[in-house]
Structure 1
Amino acid sequence: MTRKRRWTLYAIPALVAVVVGAYFIIGGDEQQAPTPLPRPPENVPQVLVALGDSTISGEGAGDYEPGTNGEKGDWCHRSRDASIHHTLVTGLQATISLACSGANSAQIGLGDIKQYTEPSQAGRLAVVARQNRVLAIQVAVGANDDPSFANSLNSCVEAWFDRTRKSCKDALGPEWQRRIDAMVPKVVKVLQDIRKVMSSAGYSDSDYRLVLQSYAAPVTPNLIGGLQDLSGCPFRTEDLQWIKDTAVPTLTVGLRKAATEANTRFLDLSKAGQGREACSRDNPDEEWFRRLAVEWTDLRAQERATHALQESFHPNATGYAEFGRCFGEFITFPAVREGACLVGRDGNLHAALL
C-alpha cells in the first residue's frame, strides 16, 4: 500500500501537466481568431498623391496654393497646374500634392527635417493614406541631394556672366558621378519610407502603384539665335551640351538604379522635353520650360528678393500638363516596371514601354 500511494503522488503532477498542456494546445487553437490581413481603407475617396521637389510641386507654373507662395516663409510653390492634377485618370475623387520646391530626400522621407516650414512629406502621407484610398504615388526626389541640380544650373549661369571662371562642365563634370552615387541610397531610403507608411496604413505593395520619375533636361544646345543671354538662356554652349548629354542622363541612370533597388516602378523623363526646352522655339508659349524668369515685384521686398529667380528653368503649366498625361498613361499599364515619356506623332507626350 505504501509503495502504491507513493507512485500515485508522483504521477499526479505529471498527469496535471499533460492535461493542462492538452487544453492549451487543443482549446487554444479553437479559441484564437485568425489575424486579419492588412487592408487599405474602403468606402473612402480614391486619390492620387504626389511627393517630391519642385518638378512635382509645380514650380514655374504659377497659380500656387494659398500659403505656399512665400507666406510665413513657405515657398513650396504647390501649383494647381502641377502634373499630378493633369493625369486624366478617371474615377478619382481627388489628386493630392504634398510636394515642396527645393525638398531633398531628408524632408520627403520620414524624419524631423522641414522644408520651408513644412514637415516630412512621408509623415503627411500617413494621414492621407488612412483617410483615402491611394491608387498611385508619384515621386521625384534626388536632384536636391548631392547633385544639387538647381544650384548646378545656377553655377552654369554664373559661368556665363564671368568668363574668367571655369565652365560648370569643367567645374562639376569630374565629380558628377560621385554625386550621383552618393544620392542613390538616399533615394532608396525615401522609397522604403513610403512603403513603410503605406504598410502601416493597411496597404500591401500590390494595392497601389509607386512610381519614381526622373528629371527632364530643361535646356538644349539647340537654342534659337539671340536667346543665349539674359533675354532667355544665359549658358555657355559647352555647358548646355554637358547638361543635355551628361548631367541629366547620368542622373537618370542613378535614379533608375534606386528604383530597382527599392522594387519601385520607374518613369524616365530625361527626353521628355526634347524640342520644347527653354529657348528652343521662337514663341516661348510653344516651349514646356520657363526661360530665365524674374519676379520683379519680389525684388522690392527683402523677404522675397532671394526667391525672385526661383521659377527659372522649371516646366511651365503646359509642360506639367504633358508630364501629367504621360504619368497617367503609365500607371494604367499593368505590371510594367519601366517606361519613358516620349513625344508621339500628335506632338504630345505619351508613355512608352522600355
Structure 2
Amino acid sequence: MYGTTYLDPTTKKENGCHRSDVAEIATSGIPVDYKVNLACSGAETVHVLPAAAGGQDFKGQRPQADQLKDLAAKYDIKLVQLSISGNDLGFSKIIEDCVWQFLYGPVGRYCWKKWDWTVKQALAKEIPEKVGNVVDRIRSVMRQSGHRDGSYVLAIQSYPSPVPLSSSYRYAQGSSFTSNRYAPGGCPFYDQDTNWARKDVVNSIAHMLEGVADKKNLHYLDLQWAAQGHEVCADGVRQAKAGETLTSPTPGRNAEWMRFLSAGAARPQGQKEESFHPNSYGQLALGRCLGAFYDKVASGPHRKYECLNSPGQGPEGMHLKPLA
C-alpha cells in the first residue's frame, strides 16, 4: 500500500490529501498484494477525470484516473471504490456555514434555509451527471489497460453522517460560544440545521449515488448510518479524557468516530479541514465495511449493501445488510 501522506505544494501543509494510515482501503483486509489510496481531501469530480477528458491536477498530483491507469497497466485490479460528489456539492462549505451561523449569526438564523434549494437542485441533475461521467471515464481507462468490464468490481459508496439527529445529542442546543455544543463538544449546530444535514443532505446524497449505481450498473455501499451512535457529540459516547493516550486509547465502543470541530489553538485536533471527518475509529469501521462488502459482491449476485454498527461494540461490530 502507498499514498498515505505528502506535502501539499500549494499550502505547504503536511497531509495535503489527509490520507490516513488506517484509511478504509488500508484496513479493509481484502486479500490482495497491494492496496492503493488515490483519494485526496477536497477533490472534486474534475480531479478524478483523466486529463484527456478535462481532468485537472490537484494538490500537486495528477488526475486520479490517470494514476489509476498507471496502476492498471501494471497490476491485475480487483476493486475500484469511489467516494465522490460531496465536494462537488460543497458539503464542507455548508457545514462551515452552519457552524458560522451558530457561533456568530443572530440567534435562530438557520443555515438550512439558505442552502436547501441549492442542494436539491444540484442533486437533481448536475451532480449525478458529473458522477456518471467519472464512472464512464474510469471504465474507459480500465478497458484501455486491458481490464474488461466485469473483470473487477467497480463500486461507489455514500458518506457516513458526522452529526447525529438533534434528539441524540448529549448537549442541549444553547447558542454561540456559551453553548456546550461549542466547548467542550466541538459540534456547534442548531437542532434544525443538524436534522436537515442528517435527514435531508446525507440521505439525499446517498439516494443520488444509489441512483447512479443503478443507472451505471455499479455495486453500491451505503454508509450513511455506519457511525450512528458514534457521531460528534452523540449521546452515550465521549471524547478522550485525561490519561488516555495512543497506547491506551478510549475504547472504540465508548468513543466518537468523527473528528470534532478543530479551530485554532483552543481546539487542536489536526487541521481545520479534517473536522467532521472519520477519525481513526471511524476509518477502522469503514475498513470493516469495505472488506465485508468486497467479500459479498465479488462472489455473490447482490449489488447493493448498507453497513451498520452494532450497539455496544467498536469497529469490530460492523456488519452488512442487503439493500432492497
- Report the TM-score, using the length of structure 1 for normalisation: 0.75
Distance 2:264 2:287 in 1: 26
C-alpha contact (below 8 Å) 1:211/1:266 kept by paired residues: yes
Match status 1:185 vs 2:185: no
**How does 1:203-222 map onto structure 2 within 5 Å?**
203-220=147-164, 221=166, 222=168
Greater radius of gyration (CA)? 1
C-alpha contact (below 8 Å) 1:290/1:315 kept by paired residues: yes
C-alpha contact (below 8 Å) 1:271/1:341 kept by paired residues: yes
**How does 1:84-95 map onto structure 2 within 5 Å?**
84-90=25-31, 92-95=32-35
**How does 1:84-123 map onto structure 2 within 5 Å?**
84-90=25-31, 92-111=32-51, 112-123=55-66
Match status 1:328 vs 2:283: no
Match status 1:318 vs 2:281: yes
- Alpha carbons of 1:176 and 1:129: their partners in 2 closer, same or farther (altered >3 Å)? same
Aligned to 2:20: 79
Distance apart, 1:74 and its partner CA = 7.0
SS at match of 1:210: strand
C-alpha contact (below 8 Å) 1:198/1:204 kept by paired residues: yes
SS at match of 2:220: strand
- Alpha carbons of 1:295 and 1:66: their partners in 2 closer, same or farther (altered >3 Å)? farther
Distance apart, 1:312 and its partner CA = 0.5
Aligned to 1:224: 170
Give the letter aligned to residue 217 of structure 1: S
Aligned residues: 285
Distance apart, 1:275 and its partner CA = 0.4
Distance apart, 1:134 and its partner CA = 1.1
Aligned to 1:292: 261
- Alpha carbons of 1:68 and 1:208: their partners in 2 closer, same or farther (altered >3 Å)? farther
C-alpha contact (below 8 Å) 1:73/1:117 kept by paired residues: no
Distance apart, 1:72 and its partner CA = 7.5
Give the letter aligned to residue 224 of structure 1: R
- Alpha carbons of 1:159 and 1:188: their partners in 2 closer, same or farther (altered >3 Å)? same
How many percent of aligned residue pairs carry the same amino acid? Answer: 28
Distance 1:68 1:298 in 2: 23
Aligned to 2:247: none
**How does 1:1-354 map onto structure 2 within 5 Å?**
65-67=5-7, 71=12, 75-90=16-31, 92-111=32-51, 112-145=55-88, 147-164=89-106, 166-181=109-124, 182-220=126-164, 221=166, 222-225=168-171, 227-231=180-184, 232-280=186-234, 281-284=236-239, 285=250, 286-294=255-263, 296=265, 308-333=271-296, 334-344=300-310, 347=313, 348-354=317-323
C-alpha contact (below 8 Å) 1:122/1:194 kept by paired residues: yes
Give the letter aligned to residue 59 of structure 2: Y
SS at match of 1:341: strand
Give the letter aligned to residue 100 of structure 1: C
C-alpha contact (below 8 Å) 2:230/2:258 kept by paired residues: yes
Structure 1 unaligned blocks of 5 or more: 1-46, 50-56, 58-63, 300-306
Give the letter aligned to residue 336 of structure 1: H
Distance apart, 1:345 and its partner CA = 6.4
Distance apart, 1:258 and its partner CA = 1.4
Q: Deviations over 1:292-325 (max 9, x none)?
A: 12464999xxxxxxx9411110000111111111
Distance apart, 1:335 and its partner CA = 2.7
Distance apart, 1:162 and its partner CA = 2.7
Give the letter aligned to residue 291 of structure 1: F
Q: CA RMSD in A?
A: 2.5
- Report the TM-score, using the length of structure 2 for normalisation: 0.81
SS at match of 1:332: helix
Distance 2:307 2:34 in 1: 23
Distance 1:290 1:187 in 2: 27
SS at match of 1:207: coil
Task: Give the structure with the higher percent helix.
Answer: 1
Distance 1:204 1:87 in 2: 24
Aligned to 1:25: none
- Alpha carbons of 1:163 and 1:294: their partners in 2 closer, same or farther (altered >3 Å)? closer
SS at match of 2:77: strand
C-alpha contact (below 8 Å) 2:19/2:39 kept by paired residues: yes
Distance apart, 1:282 and its partner CA = 4.5
C-alpha contact (below 8 Å) 2:5/2:17 kept by paired residues: no
SS at match of 2:274: coil
C-alpha contact (below 8 Å) 1:74/1:118 kept by paired residues: no
C-alpha contact (below 8 Å) 2:163/2:231 kept by paired residues: yes
Which is further off, 249-258 or 158-167?
A: 158-167
SS at match of 1:133: coil
